[in-house]
């Protein structure tokens, strides 16, 4: 059996109208500036580590502009790579710091995930990780992005289909593979996606890829880059809270 994606002119008009209403949002403008630029700088260990921690912090927790995660990630960031590398008990250190800061869930789990991930990276994991990131940086395509996301998902603790895409997007590398969460599924259901979507099923890679393929085909028909429409959807749930300063 096959699913045929049929996108009508009314669908295209609806999507373009939605994007036009949110194009001037600071969050959307930042996504365009970062992810659509022609020349993308190489990712450093420090930048990767910061972004990886940010992804773990936003798992099962909203990441609005004024929330505890956003405040924790501002400078000076307390869990910098140079602070964490070589720490004798990173899991406990992270757990205590997150608990003392307050408002951040899963402190114990995040501490353990960070410790396991750092051990993997320092034991030779940096090279293959950066190899996948460079492929996306130098040749962004649905194929290279999906392969990189699958690598992250299978090699880093705490990363499923959504957060592996979130990592690539947060680093400013990806254009086509987006982090699909409840915001995106709610928007797609309201829009009229041909299948009623359930955000809880996104943990399954096959289901996730199915939704991602449909989202990308919709964007292709509208001549819109998926990461930009994703930014508009994300920003639409926060109203006018995103500014040039907090984005």
Q: What are the Cα distances from residue 9, in Å, to 15, 194, 221, 233?
A: 10, 16, 9, 20
Burial class for 25, CB neighbours closer than 10 Å (0-12, 13-18, 19+):
buried
Cα distances (Å, whole numbers) of residue 177 to 61, 140, 166:
21, 10, 9
63: pLDDT strictly greater than 80: no
Q: What is the pLDDT of residues 6-29, one digit of tens each?
A: 899 999 999 999 999 999 999 999
Residue 55: predicted pLDDT? 94
User: 94-144: per-residue pLDDT in tens?
Assistant: 999 999 888 888 999 999 999 999 999 999 999 999 999 999 999 999 999
What are the backbone angles phi and psi of residue 198, rounded to the nearest 5°? -125, 115
Asked if the model's pLDDT at residue 166 lies above 90, the reply is yes
Q: Average pLDDT of the chain?
A: 92
pLDDT > 70: percent of the chain:
94
* pLDDT tens by residue, 227-246: 999 999 999 987 666 666 66
Residue 75 has pLDDT above 90, yes or no: no
Contacts of 29 (CB under 8 A, 6+ apart): 23
Give the per-residue pLDDT at 69: 84
Looking at the structure, give the CATH architecture of the domain made up of residues 45-170: Orthogonal Bundle (1.10)
Using a cut of 0.85, tell me whether the model's pTM lies above it. yes
Distance CA 51, CA 166 (A): 9
What integer is the mean pLDDT of 60-68? 71
Please state the domain extents for the chain. Answer: 9-36+178-236, 45-170
Residues in the chain: 247
- Interacting residues of 24 by C-beta distance below 8 A, sequence separation 6+: none
């Amino acid at each position: 059996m096959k699913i045929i994606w049929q996108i009508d002119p009314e669908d295209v008009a609806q999507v373009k109208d939605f994007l036009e209403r949110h194009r001037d949002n600071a969050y959307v403008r930042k996504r365009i500036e970062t992810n659509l630029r022609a020349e993308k700088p190489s990712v450093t260990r420090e930048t990767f580590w910061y972004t990886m921690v940010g992804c773990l912090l936003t798992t099962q927790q909203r990441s609005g502009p004024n929330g505890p995660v956003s405040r924790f990630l501002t400078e000076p960031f307390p869990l910098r790579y140079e602070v964490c590398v070589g720490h004798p008990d990173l899991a406990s250190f992270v757990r205590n710091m997150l608990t003392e800061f307050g408002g951040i869930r899963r402190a114990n789990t995040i501490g353990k995930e960070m410790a396991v991930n750092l051990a993997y990276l320092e034991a030779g994991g940096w090279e293959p990780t950066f190899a996948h990131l460079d492929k996306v940086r130098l040749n962004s395509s649905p194929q290279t992005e999906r392969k990189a996301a699958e690598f992250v998902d299978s090699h880093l603790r705490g990363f499923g289909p959504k957060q592996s895409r979130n990592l690539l997007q947060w680093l400013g590398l990806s254009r086509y593979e987006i982090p699909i969460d409840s915001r995106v599924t709610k928007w797609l259901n309201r829009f009229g996606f041909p299948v009623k979507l359930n955000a809880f099923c996104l943990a399954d890679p096959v289901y996730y890829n199915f939704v991602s393929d449909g989202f990308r085909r919709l964007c292709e028909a509208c001549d819109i880059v998926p990461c930009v429409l994703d930014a508009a959807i994300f920003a639409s749930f926060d109203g006018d809270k995103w500014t040039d300063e907090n984005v």
